[in-house]
Structure 1
Amino acid sequence: MQHTPKPTMSIPRIHLTMPLAIGALAIWLGLSLAGRWLEAAGYALPGAAVTGRIGLSWALAAMFALALLLASNRRHEAGLCAPQPWKTLWLVWPPLLYALLMLLLAWAGGWPQPRVLLIVACNAALVAISEELMFRAILLQGMLDRYAVWPAVLMSSALFGLAHLANGLATGDVSGALWQAVAATLQGVGYAAIRLRTRSVWPMVLVHGLWDYALVTATLPNPAEDGASILPTIALLAVLPLCLYGVYLLRPSQRAAISQLQP
């Protein structure tokens, strides 16, 4: 007796459009900033103090972004895969070596306390995963669903910069947050370019985490006397070469190749 196979139920996948990516960004911002705002208000929630404790809000934001990408039908196009081809990894070496040099310079005057280094490392990793999945995977792919390469890169990078303005609301250092926003925008151009050329978000997670780790530990031995962070100023000067590198990577011949890969 011949049995008729039962039809299988396929789970519908989410299509990463620009409106969906903007909505996801709003949720991501709420998750990543809520912990800092509650902590500043005096609530006993594990927050996002870079050197004091591990930021739960960053972990929640990273899990949200990862879950959305796993449910998407464009997760591979968004970079949730290994570099394709593997030889494109050489594009990561200039910013990676640059970040390592910054780390060596940061520790030239002495090492911070091991506990502080460990907490900063954990937070830098969480921030890198969370921000790269949100801005270089979800948001950039959502922009590419509607726009060409350069408009998508510039808009996603600008939103990356604007997101850093919220740091001023959490720390009270509005002027520092403005400088940090400009630096993040320039940084976003370089990161987006490498993500598009390697077709993977993971190399930039590594670079981003090491970059933040170097910048934060560079300010630990000599914090600003007036209480205002000098981190944004250092970041602005450091990211200029990275932005120019991104512009080079997105030269016309390479933009044409990237555009052809978009469905």
Structure 2
Amino acid sequence: MKKFLYRHGLVLFLVVMIGRGLIGMLAVKGIQSFNPSLTVEKDLGWLIMLIYATTVFLAVKWVKIDKEIGLKMPSSAKEWYVWIPALIIPLTLAFYLGFNSTLGHIPLLLIAAVGVAVNEEILFRGILLRAILPFGKAVAIIVPSLLFGTAHLGNILVGADVTYALFQFGWTSFAGMALTAMVLANKSLLPAILFHFVLDAIEYGATGAYGVHSTEYSLKWLGIFLLLNLAFLLYSLFILKKSTSNQQQITRTVTSL
């Protein structure tokens, strides 16, 4: 079974995707059977994300592809600080939304942010990217990212504002492509996980919600955030191209020696 899943990355992705969903759903239903007033949006989001993150992490450790998908440190400090300009996105988010959480709620919001970052990066930029990369970098950047964006449309089913969810599909698709380029350039998932955590931590702290927003936001703000993620994508592709060119130069130099 382990060898089969190692060789068939798409099957592994589907098994983990469905498996973590079932485990999370059973956990929520079990808790709600004791207290029906608890909801995913306001009360149990942190638990769901923790379950998801734990499931995907244990899965890649069990199949032994954790290092292969990039759960290791980047080779140099430069591969961390080159992404500092991308922090304009969470900073803009903080400026626009402010801070609307109680101090007692912050630990749960941070747990949720860690869970989302670990879960989504391992699942989409780890397992799925590894499975699709043999089809070429362009396909590997675009296809998993569109699936990543589509997955966020599911928030409509649990109470998200429809307009917000549609814009969220757009910027998570752009951000997914940018994060994929980040992983390919660094050969590590950790910078992507850290950036994802910072972004979600600020978003959750600003809204007091676990990523499912029923509040209506202005089209102006939604558009600005969409454009920021498009800029993030263009910057990431530039870094990836530069990294690839440097690697090719090193390879030619070594070959000529």
Identity %, equivalent residues:
24
Cα deviation 1:35-89 (Å, max 9, x = unaligned): 79859x887487643x544522222211221122112343322111111244322
Aligned to 2:234: 244
1:103 aligns with 2:94: yes
Residues in 1 aligned to 2:143 and 2:229: alpha-carbon distance in whole angstroms: 18
Cα deviation 1:78-133 (Å, max 9, x = unaligned): 111111244322223222354245435544xx663212333222211111111111
Cα distance change of structure 1 residues 114 and 21 upon mapping to structure 2, 3 Å threshold: same
Cα distance change of structure 1 residues 61 and 28 upon mapping to structure 2, 3 Å threshold: farther
Equivalent pair of 2:89/2:229 in contact (CA under 8 Å): no
- How high is the TM-score relative to the length of structure 1? 0.75
Cα deviation 1:153-203 (Å, max 9, x = unaligned): 111111100110111111153333222111110010111111111111122
Mind listing any 5+ residue stretches in structure 1 that lack a counterpart? 1-10, 221-226
Q: Between Structure 1 and Structure 2, how many residues are aligned?
A: 242
Equivalent pair of 2:148/2:172 in contact (CA under 8 Å): yes
Equivalent pair of 1:14/1:72 in contact (CA under 8 Å): yes
1:207 aligns with 2:195: yes
Equivalent pair of 2:10/2:128 in contact (CA under 8 Å): no
Residues in 1 aligned to 2:164 and 2:8: alpha-carbon distance in whole angstroms: 33
Aligned to 2:217: 230
Among 19, 25, 39, the alignment partner of 2:10 is: 19
Among 66, 83, 87, the alignment partner of 2:78 is: 87
Equivalent pair of 1:219/1:230 in contact (CA under 8 Å): no
Cα deviation 1:137-162 (Å, max 9, x = unaligned): 11111111x31111111111111001
Mind listing any 5+ residue stretches in structure 2 that lack a counterpart? 209-213, 252-257
1:89 maps to a residue whose letter is W
Aligned to 1:3: none
Residues in 2 aligned to 1:23 and 1:85: alpha-carbon distance in whole angstroms: 33
Residues in 2 aligned to 1:43 and 1:229: alpha-carbon distance in whole angstroms: 32
RMSD (CA atoms): 3.8
Residues in 2 aligned to 1:137 and 1:106: alpha-carbon distance in whole angstroms: 31
Where is the helix percentage greater, Structure 1 or Structure 2?
A: 2
Aligned to 2:254: none
Aligned to 2:130: 141
Residues in 2 aligned to 1:132 and 1:253: alpha-carbon distance in whole angstroms: 21
Residues in 1 aligned to 2:29 and 2:127: alpha-carbon distance in whole angstroms: 27
1:177 aligns with 2:177: no
Bigger radius of gyration among the two: 1
Cα distance change of structure 1 residues 141 and 197 upon mapping to structure 2, 3 Å threshold: same
Aligned to 1:223: none
Residues in 2 aligned to 1:212 and 1:123: alpha-carbon distance in whole angstroms: 8
Q: Secondary structure at the match of 2:135?
A: coil
Equivalent pair of 2:90/2:199 in contact (CA under 8 Å): yes
Cα distance change of structure 1 residues 156 and 12 upon mapping to structure 2, 3 Å threshold: closer
- How high is the TM-score relative to the length of structure 2? 0.76
Equivalent pair of 2:185/2:243 in contact (CA under 8 Å): no
Residues in 1 aligned to 2:148 and 2:117: alpha-carbon distance in whole angstroms: 12
